Amino acid sequence: MTKTGKLFLVEGLDLAGKTSACKNLVVRLQPRPEYRRNAFAEKNTLYLAADDLRRSNGLDGHYLGHAYLAAAALDVALFQPPESVRVQESTIALRSMAHYRARGEHDLADGFARLMARPDFPQVRGAVVLTASLAVRRERLEMRRNEAPDEVAPDDLVVITTPNLFLRMEEILIDEAIRQFGATILDTTDLNKEQVVAALAEAYDEAVQ
């Protein structure tokens, strides 16, 4: 990998508390870092199209995987290092690799793995994977259904419909995040929001200062 700027990565599968934690972390930090979610590039139109298809169930899963693979490759091509530091919430390539590896679609998973192994794949200065128990995730899903039903996609229901698949996806994601980025693991099950942000802030300081 080549050095491409200071990126602090927060990863994890759905309902681990990533988005609220990242937004609160960015507000807390001074000077305030950039913040980006999922895509490295600011205007990755392939990713936006693929994500719309995922949410609408508008494309067979295998073909959707190829759309995400193209989006992830474009993301690397369009990537520009941040001026200072960026909090990056998730990456297309890592989450997609875990998704397809757990489902036995190894051709797609290998494509994402090869992309992450390329020397031009963005390098991160520190990474944390958030996790939580299935029970807590199910509680968070119910809250999301009540408060923001439009944000619930079919894939979000895996934690209820096929929990063993969900856990396998998480195991793959964690293993790869540790191997690829030297990530640490933060279990948010018994932590309140402030405790999660404080732990992320500590990891951020260690990584980018």
51 occurs within a structural domain: yes
Distance of CA 60 to the CA centre of its chain: 22
Question: Number of structural domains, the chain?
Answer: 1
CATH number of the domain that 38 lies in? Answer: 3.40.50.300
For 142, the 3-state DSSP assignment is helix
**What are the tens digits of pLDDT across the range 145-182?**
888 887 777 777 899 999 999 999 999 999 999 999 99
Domain, as residue range, for 46:
6-208
**What are the tens digits of pLDDT across the range 9-68?**
999 998 999 999 999 999 999 999 999 999 999 889 999 999 888 878 777 888 999 999
Q: Give dist(CA 141, CA 105) in Å, integer.
A: 27
For 145, the 3-state DSSP assignment is helix
Helices 106-117 and 163-181, axial angle in degrees (round to 10): 20
1 occurs within a structural domain: no
35 occurs within a structural domain: yes
For 21, the 3-state DSSP assignment is helix
